[in-house]
Chains A and B, each alone.
Chain A
């Protein structure tokens, strides 16, 4: 039965426009108009998640906030989600509440990360989550609204509001929405969720405290080493003073084929990038992201970009045509926040 007995306080307005304006006036939107929920649409969202209204999805200890199914459902409707998206949103909320993600750090930091949501498994086809061209951008309802729903939960339920709990200096566009799928159908490699111990038939979300995507191009090389050398050159000094974060490397169609044609697995890509993103202490000091005078030994003392090869999460996604791929630096260090994968449970 569709639940209708809600705990949330309610108000009334005269018409739809007034309702939208009221959500604005209360500070309950991300700056874009919202879809005003009804009892029916909230109930449908909760039912699609196989949940009870009062079910706790996660608890954010630093805020002493219990995130309930009802609040997630209201925000999902506000974001424009279809009910069938609810299990994905719930899994993402569970994941950002996982201690390994360490919600409070990336949510409050001046660094201004967003929650990147990577969806794997059959649900990506069922919901039409884009894994192809215009990957990080507009045009797909599932990508646009799932990521937006998670952000609205962060704002409205957990209180992660800019200038208050969220102290981002700049932030980036991914804070509106940042949801992608892996192109498992065309990928020559093992999908992320299978690498992390799930079956290919399971569906998962992986959340990652992510800075903005950095695109790089290479249309000259037809070897794995050539394309990955370009990637590494772009990544090498991208961490600033704080080395030790996890990174995403999103490899699109043409690069995917070039790299795979040379027999590189995801592990080979990780090993190559781990070695080739090292930077000398001398260079880090020259560009003023490491303190101290440059000593003779600094020319040969090397610092890795990320802690270990497995801290590069390699994703096959993006358009078939084009010679662009992207890397995404993580927030902080792996010790302070790491990517977390959760199964999407469908009722």
Chain B
């Protein structure tokens, strides 16, 4: 451990933090319209999240012309979306709706 001499000679401050590695996320262009697009709904397992998402999907279909939806659940609210769901959405959906909160 540090001795008196260590401190007498040297009052250095060592940064205990770490910088986050920078990462770039590419977003797909926002569609100009939802007409005839298929909706993927990401349900986060919280109470009523499925109810809310299905109501959103109904509005998007009725008022904005979206063509159908699928709803898939995460394993838990604190987990990322499973890879097979991502692949299904990539293959089937044009846009996705996700959210957080209770």
Taking CB as reference atom, which chain A residue is nearest B78? A105
Contacts of A108 in B (CB 8 A): 78
For B77, the chain A residues whose CB sits under 8 A away are: 105, 332, 336
Q: Do the beta carbons of B75 and A40 come within 8 Å of each other?
A: no
Q: Do B13 and A36 have beta carbons less than 8 Å apart? A: yes
Most buried by A among B2, B3, B16, B17: B16
Q: Kindly state whether residue A201 has any CB partner on chain B within 8 Å.
A: no
A339 within 8 A of B: no
Q: Is the CB of B13 within 8 A of A291?
A: no
Let me know if B16 and A71 touch, CB within 8 A: yes
**Cβ A40 vs Cβ B2 within 8 A:** yes
Contact assessment for B20 and A291 in the assembled complex, using a CB-CB cutoff below 8 Å: no
Q: Given the known A-B contacts A66-B21, A109-B78, are A38 and B15 also in contact in the complex, defined by CB atoms under 8 Å? A: no
Determine whether the beta carbon of A39 is less than 8 Å from that of B12. Answer: yes
What is the number of residues of chain B that contact chain A, defined by CB distance less than 8 Å? 24
Per-residue B-contact encoding for A9-45, CB less than 8 Å = 1, 0 else: 1111111101100110010100000011111111010
Q: A109-B78, A336-B79, A337-B78 in contact; A8/B15 too (CB < 8 A)?
A: yes
Residues of chain A from 307 to 347 with CB closer than 8 A to chain B in the complex: 332-333, 335-337
User: In chain A, what residue has the closest Cβ to B20?
Assistant: A64
Asked whether A65 and B21 contact (CB < 8 A) given A44-B1, A105-B79, A336-B76, the answer is yes
When chains A and B are docked, how far (Å) is the Cα of A284 from the Cα of B20?
43
Whole-angstrom CA separation of A136 from B30 in the bound complex: 53
* B78 interface neighbour in A26, A36, A106, Cβ under 8 Å: A106
Cross-chain contact A8 with B78 (CB below 8 angstroms): no
How many A-B contacts if CB must be within 8 Å? 112
Contacts of A10 in B (CB 8 A): 12-15
Range class of the A interface residue count: 35 or more
Among residues 9 to 57 in chain B, which have CB atoms less than 8 Å away from a CB atom of chain A? 10-18, 20-21, 23, 47
Stretch at the interface among A75-83, A172-180, A230-238, A267-275: A75-83
**A6 in contact (CB, < 8 A):** yes
Instruction: Mark interface residues in A157-187 (1 if CB within 8 Å of B CB, else 0).
Output: 1110000000000000000000000000000
Does A74 sit at the interface, judged by CB under 8 A? yes
Q: Is there a chain B Cβ closer than 8 Å to A204's Cβ?
A: no
Chain B residues with Cβ below 8 Å from A13 are 11, 13
A16 vs B4: C-alpha distance in the bound complex, in angstroms? 11
Q: Which of B10, B18, B80 has the most CB of A within 10 A?
A: B18
Residue pair A14, B76 in contact (C-beta under 8 Å)? no
- Contacts A105-B76, A336-B79; A74 near B11 (Cβ below 8 A): no
For this complex, 5 residue pairs linking A to B, each with C-beta atoms less than 8 Å apart, are: A16-B7, A64-B23, A105-B78, A159-B20, A241-B47
Residues of B in contact with A (beta carbons under 8 Å apart): 1-3, 6-7, 10-18, 20-21, 23, 47, 75-80
Interface residues of A (CB under 8 A from B): 6, 8-16, 18-19, 22-23, 26, 28, 35-42, 44, 62-68, 71, 74-75, 78, 82-83, 102, 104-106, 108-109, 152, 156-159, 241, 291, 332-333, 335-337
